[in-house]
Every structure is written in structure tokens, then in C-alpha cells.
Structure 1
Amino acid sequence: MLFITSLNSGSNGNCYYIGNQHEAVLIDVGISCREVEKRMTRLGLSMGKVKAIFISHEHSDHISGVTVLSKKHRLPVYITGKTCLHGGLRLDEELTRSFNGHEKVYIGNLCVTAFPKEHDAAEPHSFIVSEGDVTVGIFTDLGIPCENLIRYFKQCHAAFLEANYDEQMLANGRYPYFLKRRITGGKGHLSNSQALRLLLDHKPAFMSHLLLAHLSKDNNCPDLVRELFTQHAGNTHVVVASRYEETAVYTVSSGAAVNQAPQYLSPLAMQTSLF
């Protein structure tokens, strides 16, 4: 059984928590140390259970809080050499760890596996986190639904999945042409339709939770995304992760779906966010 929450999701900062009863990891820390602590406290989650941080790539919305959080709580940071270099990070050498794609890293009873993805960064990776027969995927900042993504998505009982933009909203929006090309050019972000196609073609029957992540503030709408995916998700519980606050904590198991862990529910997370 794993507990998961998005502490923040969007171009203003990304941070995702996955843990069991005894230990947890954070995937990316793109919000401040103070905000991580505040949001976890509101959810009833202990920083003492966090044993490691894994960094997907060097963009500021994924790394801006990692140095302070790691130093304050003496947390090892798993990061590739190129990501650390291009991010200009000054991490404590004693707390810096490397990882390789498709190799398992054990944090207590948690098993974290990274895999390369298509994104405009030096050495970008996504992750799955497993314990026993339960697997959670953290899949954002994806230029295309590549074979690696499909392979690992099929294993997931729950997933944080990017649905960054609505194609019409982006095409008709205020972004300059070069930025629109960057977003849609194969090393940018997944559109709603790309993410939905991944769900329709490759969702395993046992997936209980889908947390839609990294929505664009200007080129997407949470209500649109929620409605679009809910009508196709079957028994999978669909959540839209906010760019302003934490979600509730969800319990993921290999048996019957348990949508929420009531002891961790945040009143803020139950409110509809405006993106």
C-alpha cells in the first residue's frame, strides 16, 4: 500500500510525494522548503518519513527548493551529473547520489526506477515508485508518449500524468509562435489528447487513480480536463492536481481501490482550484 499526493503541479513548481507507512520519497522540489513543510503538515504527513529526493531534470520548476530542503533535513538527492551541472545546483557532496535509467534504487522498502524521456533538458527522466506489487508512476514534462512511457504506464496502479495543454487553446492563445513550437515540438509537453490516447490505449485494468498534472495556466482548463478524462476512465478515480495547493492524500493498493486516506485529508484539497 502506498500513499500519494501532489504538493504542487505546474510551471510554477512541481513536487510529488509517494510513501508507505514508514518511509517516503519526493519527486522534484520546485517549491520552497517552507511550502513543502507547510503543505505536508496540513496533510498530516511527516518530513521525518521522507528519506530521499529524486530530480527529473534541471528546469527551475522542478529544482528551485531542493538545495535548502536537502540541507535542512539532510536528505540525499538522486540526480544525474548533467542535470546537476545544467541546473547550477550546489548540493552537499555527501548528500548527492547518481542514478541510471532502468536501474532500481531502494529507499527502505520503496523501489524507485528512473527511465529516460523526451524533453528539452540535458538528461531528463521520469520515475516509477513501487512497494511489493503496487506501482505509482510520475510522468510529467513529456514531449511525446515514447515507448519507455508506455512500458511503465502499463505497470501502474496509480499515475501522475501530464495533461499540459488543450490544442485549440494553445493554437489560439497569446503565446508567441516559437514557444508554441517548443511546447508541441516533441520535446515539450503532452497535450490533453496525447495523454487521453495513452490512457485509452494502455491503461491497465488495475489502475485505481489518475492524477492529471502540470496543467498550463493559460492553455488549459481544469474543468475541461476533469470532464474529458472522467468520461473515459472507467473505475479509475480522476484527480486534477493544482498549481496552487496540495491534493488530498490517496491510498493506492493492489486490491480494491481506496480513493482517499481520511486521516490525511486536507480541507484545501477538497476545494476546486482556479488555474
Structure 2
Amino acid sequence: MSLFIASLNSGSNGNCYYVGNHDEAILVDGGISCRETEKRMKRLGLSLKKVKGIFVSHEHGDHIHGVPALSRKHQIPVYITTATRALVNLELKEHLTFSFRAHEPVKIGSNLAVTAFPKQHDACDPHSFIVAGNTVKVGIFTDIGSACEHVTNYFGQCHAAFLEANYDEEMLANGGYPYPLKERIRSEKGHLSNTQALQLFREHKPAFMSHLLLSHLSRDNNHPRLVRDLFNRIAGKTSIIIASRDKESRVYHIRNLPDTRSPIVDHRLQLSLFQ
């Protein structure tokens, strides 16, 4: 069994992540417009017909902006906690809206299961997710102020992960953001710095993790080359990819192969996924 993953966009301007197999898929968050989601998935050869759920991590606009339109147009169920839904006025169809609870897997189709877990972030009821397809697990670890026990436990199970590396500490400290915003970003309910993300990776990465997509990079307080070089020094067999805040990534084929050394990008598979 294998999974296919892609970042459709990653950053404060919008977040949306794709995880699926040959038959069904899910999106984590929908922070870009419905039209842009459609365009990017089409370019990747991914079919919205196979998307069986949108899982909402929290209520911030860069994670929910495109969710209502995407759900209505393509009749995609939305999974959102009761507390998060009560806080925001998302125009969701009742028959397409479902709640989830932490640590209780949600079955999607015949071969996917999505497990949510609480995280530290300045939102009402924030969660991150593990997507499992038989023996393969992919984690989405973004918008996290600190690597709590839930994060470290689930990260250690992943064959691939989207991991936040939001800011370089020196760039944030010396940059032009107002002091209260700097404090919010680096608080325990803010975002992970490059150093914090690197520590999580160094201390909890399983030997079988083949791909790490560094995500939610700040436009003003980070730089892709800086964070890529930082992680590549200790990456070993894990391929380091930067998830762009401006465009979609490639589709990566994640398999349970302990000796995987480089990203597998099979364009024939991408074409078949769109059918």
C-alpha cells in the first residue's frame, strides 16, 4: 500500500495539503480559493472526484477560506470540530458536515483513516492530523507553538510529514514586525521556529521517514535556502522538500520502504490519478 501527497499551498496566505491513494483522498484545510485548488490539482493530475473529505485544523482564514465553496461545488464532506464550527460562520451544508474527536480515527473510503490530535496554537480547538493507508502514515504538523507529547508521539510514526518551519529566530527578532506580533509568533501557542522544527526532526524522526515537506515558511522571517540547508545537514536518507507559499509541490509517492533515498515522482501515476 502507498500514499500520494502534495502541498497545494503552504503559508500565511493559504494552506491546503493533499493525501490519498489510488481510490480516495482527503484535503487537510482549504485556505486557497476553490478555483485555485481546482487549477493546482488539475496541473498535478489529481482528481477532486477522489477527494472524500476536507479536514479543518482550526478557524484561521488561511486554513478555511476556500472550504465552503469547495465543499458545495464538489459535494465534499467537511470534518470540523463542534467548537471550531460554533466559532466561525462557515456556510456549510448540514448533510456534508461532520465532527471529529481527538485520537478517534475517521474512516475514509475503504483504505484511509484520519486521526486528529490536539496541538498548541492560538485557536479555539486546534488539531493536527495523521493520515494512514494500511502500513503507510503521513502527518500534517503545522501551526504549532511547541512540540508537545502528542506531536512527538505521532511524528515518530510517520513515513512522510508536512512539518512547520515558520521562522528564523534572528530574522524575526531583527525584523519589522510589531513586538506583540513577534511575541505571538514565538509563544507556545504560535509557530515553530526553524530551530524547534529541527530539534523535533533530530530527536523524533523514525528511520523509515522518506520525505519531509517543510511547511508554512514565513515570507518575511525565513528563507527557503536557509531552512533547506539547515535540515539537509542531518537529513540522512530523508528527502527535504520546501512547500511553497506560491505554488503547488510535485506529487510524492510514499511507500513503506525503509531504504527509500529520494523523492519518487511518477508522472504516469499522476495522470492516472486524474482519471
TM-score by shorter chain over 0.5: yes
**In 2, are the aligned partners of 1:5 and 1:248 still within 8 Å (CA)?**
yes
Query: TM-score, normalising length from structure 2?
Result: 0.95
**Identity among equivalent pairs (%):** 64
Q: Provide the residue aligned with 1:115 in structure 2.
A: 117
**In 1, are the aligned partners of 2:68 and 2:91 still within 8 Å (CA)?**
yes
Q: Provide the residue aligned with 1:74 in structure 2.
A: 75
**In 2, are the aligned partners of 1:25 and 1:54 still within 8 Å (CA)?**
yes
- Match for 1:119: what amino acid? H
Q: Provide the residue aligned with 2:266 in structure 1.
A: 262
CA distance in structure 2 between the aligned counterparts of 1:202 and 1:35, rounded to whole angstroms: 35
**In 1, are the aligned partners of 2:118 and 2:126 still within 8 Å (CA)?**
yes
Q: Shift of the alpha carbon at 1:261?
A: 2.5
Query: TM-score, normalising length from structure 1?
Result: 0.95
- Unaligned runs of at least 5 residues, structure 1: 267-275
* Partner secondary structure for residue 229 of structure 1: helix
Q: Provide the residue aligned with 2:238 in structure 1.
A: 236
Q: Shift of the alpha carbon at 1:45?
A: 0.7
The answer to whether residue 190 in structure 2 is matched with residue 196 in structure 1 is: no
CA distance in structure 1 between the aligned counterparts of 2:94 and 2:132, rounded to whole angstroms: 27
Q: Kindly provide the CA deviation profile for residues 99-132 of structure 1, in whole angstroms up to 9, marking residues without a partner as x.
A: 0000000001101000000000000000000011
Rate the CA distance shift 1:71–1:107 in 2: closer, same or farther, 3 A. same
- Match for 2:84: what amino acid? T
Q: Where in structure 2 are the equivalents of 1:6-155 lying within 5 Å?
A: 6-108=7-109, 109-155=111-157
Q: Provide the residue aligned with 1:206 in structure 2.
A: 208
- Match for 2:70: what amino acid? L
Q: Provide the residue aligned with 1:157 in structure 2.
A: 159
**In 1, are the aligned partners of 2:121 and 2:191 still within 8 Å (CA)?**
yes
Q: Shift of the alpha carbon at 1:264?
A: 6.4
Matched positions, count: 266
**In 2, are the aligned partners of 1:165 and 1:215 still within 8 Å (CA)?**
yes
Please give the root-mean-square deviation of Cα atoms over the aligned residues, in Å: 1.2
- Unaligned runs of at least 5 residues, structure 2: 271-275
**In 2, are the aligned partners of 1:130 and 1:136 still within 8 Å (CA)?**
yes
**In 1, are the aligned partners of 2:253 and 2:266 still within 8 Å (CA)?**
no
